[in-house]
Chains A and B, each alone.
Chain A
Amino acid sequence: MSQTVAAPAAPAQTVGEQARKRRGHSYHSGKQGQWWRFAVLLVITAIVLVPIAFVFVLSTQPSLGSNASGFTLDNFVNVFTQTGLTTWLTNSLIVTLATVLVAVVVAAPAGYVLSRVRNRLVSSYSLTLFVIQSLPVITAVIPLFTLFANIGLVDNLVGVTIIYVGSTMSVATWMMAAYFDSIPIALEEASWIDGASVLTGFLRIVLRNSLPGILSTAIFSFLLAWNDYLIATVFLRSDPNYTLPIGLETFFQQNATDWGPVMAVAVVMMMPPILIFVFLNRSFSVGGIGGSLAGR
């Protein structure tokens, strides 16, 4: 492949060469430089993708129990009909969508305050949000477990949803505030002069113009709730309440050598983040949103 691509590019290469010579060691010009860059990147990308590629490949290989060979989708049929996958998937969807909804509804007004009000109280609130974001989750999980055990929220989807919303709060509020910063306050001022209240101005003017900000916050909350392992493994204790990460982990522990079905569950679990990423990344920089997720 590299040969067929290289051939037509040859004239351009010489032009690049000349340009390079003219400018001395110009830092990033010239087609010559591009080809080794491309090759190195290709190799890095290929190595990086090996583990993920194996997930896809293995999910379409026959399970140990079956006598089929070659490409098959049986694993997907089997995991949906014979394991708890449907339950885990439903639980994950319920928890994740509830988290997204509540997080946006709570973070948007708070972000508005952060964006529009400037006083010592609000700036210390902003700083508190940052400090809290960097505290170890494990520190919060242990006391919360005690609290939730007393009020019956352990092994309960509502319990983990509340924690997810709390965990998204600092970053979600910041993200909304960052977006509101880009909306000129003159728009609201005009509406206030026309007699609108702060609430009306916020709902009709600010929120209506903040769809990208709202979507970014929603994607962030979605990824946090969908990918979480620590909180789910501590709080969800029985199979009917497992979310996908815990379902996959226990299923993997039970079928460690039968990779086909395990990887089929893995594929189901990673498709939503990948689809969101592929379709929305251009407009929302999902990768950057994910930045606030790690360590959770």
Chain B
Amino acid sequence: MADTITKRVGRAGRGVGSGGAGRAAPTKASRVGHRGVTLAAFAIPSLLLLLLINLYPLVYAGFQSVHNGDLISVGDFVGLDNYVAVLKSPDFWNSAKFTLIFTICGVFGSWLLGLAVALLLRTKIPGGGILKVLLLMPWIVPVVVSATAWNFLVATPQSPLPVIASALGQPNVLFLADPVLAQITVCVFKIWISFPFMMIMISASLAAVDPNVYEAAAVDGATSWQAFTGNTLPIISRSTYISWILMTIFCVNDFPTIFLLTQGGPVGATTSLAVLSYQTVFADMQTGPGVAIAFLMTLVLVVVSVILYRQIRKVEVE
């Protein structure tokens, strides 16, 4: 399934519609109109939902971002004041910085770990199937549950990890109370949650590889590292770029992973843009600036996605 989704993403990226195996049916002219009506009826419910739940909010959010209202009332038109205020506030730039760190750590940390595990799992090893199932658990368990578990592990001085740290001669390690440690903890938590996704993506593309490629490389005297850079990396490059795009989107948009572990604290050290937007709207009751933050975040996301999309196309051309 991961693979079919991957293909569709690629297809959409190339601007190709659908189709796949099925080609347009040669029907009698008299039937075309009737068929069109049925197919339109098929698509309309999902279109309506799309309009209501996805497009309408986007348009209305744009409207809210240029008004000074709250959650219920519209307020007055203020032009780009909200955007200016947001861009001038140090909180925004601190959040942007943390979002960047969080995304880079999340994407590459989970990719490296996922790649390592996928490569280790590739050969037949005893209990490999069970290990794979167990390794997917962080991805399957609801984030509320895993955040609770991680809170137990690190949050208080009586928690297991601080106790171990003090036994090792590092007393008073407060993982969620020290700004830098809290940032590291949140990033590690994100990697822990996300690496199984990378593992699945990479495993799926590795499964498609003919083992003879490696035999041939070995006959030519390639070392393991050369086989890796020369054979493995090119084969997984396409799914790697797609998984990077998806993980970038997941990381930038991520709210629960951070919020459930730290609520954005201590002193705002782990407030990502999504968390800042949430707090601005639902704690400070400032809808305009909150939506403006979400919009700026979306803008950056689109730019990054487009850059990565270009990379995919390049890979495909090669």
Residues of A within 8 A of B (CB): 5, 23-29, 33-34, 37-38, 40-42, 44-45, 48-52, 54-55, 58, 106-107, 109-110, 112-120, 122-130, 132, 134-147, 149-150, 162-163, 165-167, 169-171, 173-175, 177-185, 188-189, 192, 197-199, 202, 216, 226-227, 229-230, 234, 244-245, 248-249, 252, 256-257, 259, 262-263, 266, 269-270, 273-274, 277-278, 281, 284-292, 294-296
- Grouping DSSP codes into helix (H, G, I), strand (E, B) and loop, the B interface class, with mixed when no group exceeds half, is helix
Contacts of A177 in B (CB 8 A): 8, 18
Residues A139 and B58 in contact in the complex (CB < 8 Å), given A26-B215, A177-B18, A273-B141: yes
The CA of A52 and the CA of B135, in the complex, are separated in Å by 11
Residues of B within 8 A of A (CB): 1-5, 7-9, 11-13, 15-25, 27, 31, 34-35, 38-39, 41-43, 45-47, 49-50, 52-58, 60-61, 64, 71-72, 116-117, 120-128, 131, 133-146, 148-153, 156, 160, 192-194, 196-197, 200-201, 204, 211, 214-215, 217-219, 221-224, 227-228, 231, 246-247, 249-256, 259-260, 274, 277-278, 281-282, 287, 290-291, 294-295, 297-298, 301, 305
Cross-chain contact of A136 among B34, B135, B252 (Cβ < 8 A): B252
The CA of A183 and the CA of B20, in the complex, are separated in Å by 10
Cross-chain contact of B5 among A163, A227, A266, A291 (Cβ < 8 A): A291
**In the complex, residue of chain B having the shortest beta-carbon distance to the beta carbon of A109:** B42
**In the complex, residue of chain B having the shortest beta-carbon distance to the beta carbon of A162:** B53
A-B contact pairs, 10 of them (CB 8 A): A37-B120, A38-B125, A115-B18, A143-B64, A146-B287, A162-B53, A178-B8, A188-B25, A198-B34, A291-B197
Give the interface centre of B23, B49, B219 by most chain A CB atoms within 10 Å.
Answer: B49
A174 and B21 contacting across the interface, CB-CB below 8 Å: no
- Measured CB to CB, the closest approach of chain A to B246, in angstroms, equals 7
B24 and A285 contacting across the interface, CB-CB below 8 Å: no
A109 and B53 contacting across the interface, CB-CB below 8 Å: no
A135 and B298 contacting across the interface, CB-CB below 8 Å: yes
A-B residue pairs, 7 tightest by C-beta: A166-B53, A123-B17, A288-B2, A181-B20, A109-B42, A295-B250, A110-B46
- Grouping DSSP codes into helix (H, G, I), strand (E, B) and loop, the A interface class, with mixed when no group exceeds half, is helix
Contacts of A50 in B (CB 8 A): 153
- Measured CB to CB, the closest approach of chain B to A285, in angstroms, equals 4
**In the complex, residue of chain A having the shortest beta-carbon distance to the beta carbon of B251:** A295
B18 and A117 contacting across the interface, CB-CB below 8 Å: yes
Give the interface centre of B136, B137, B194 by most chain A CB atoms within 10 Å.
Answer: B137
Contacts of B251 in A (CB 8 A): 295
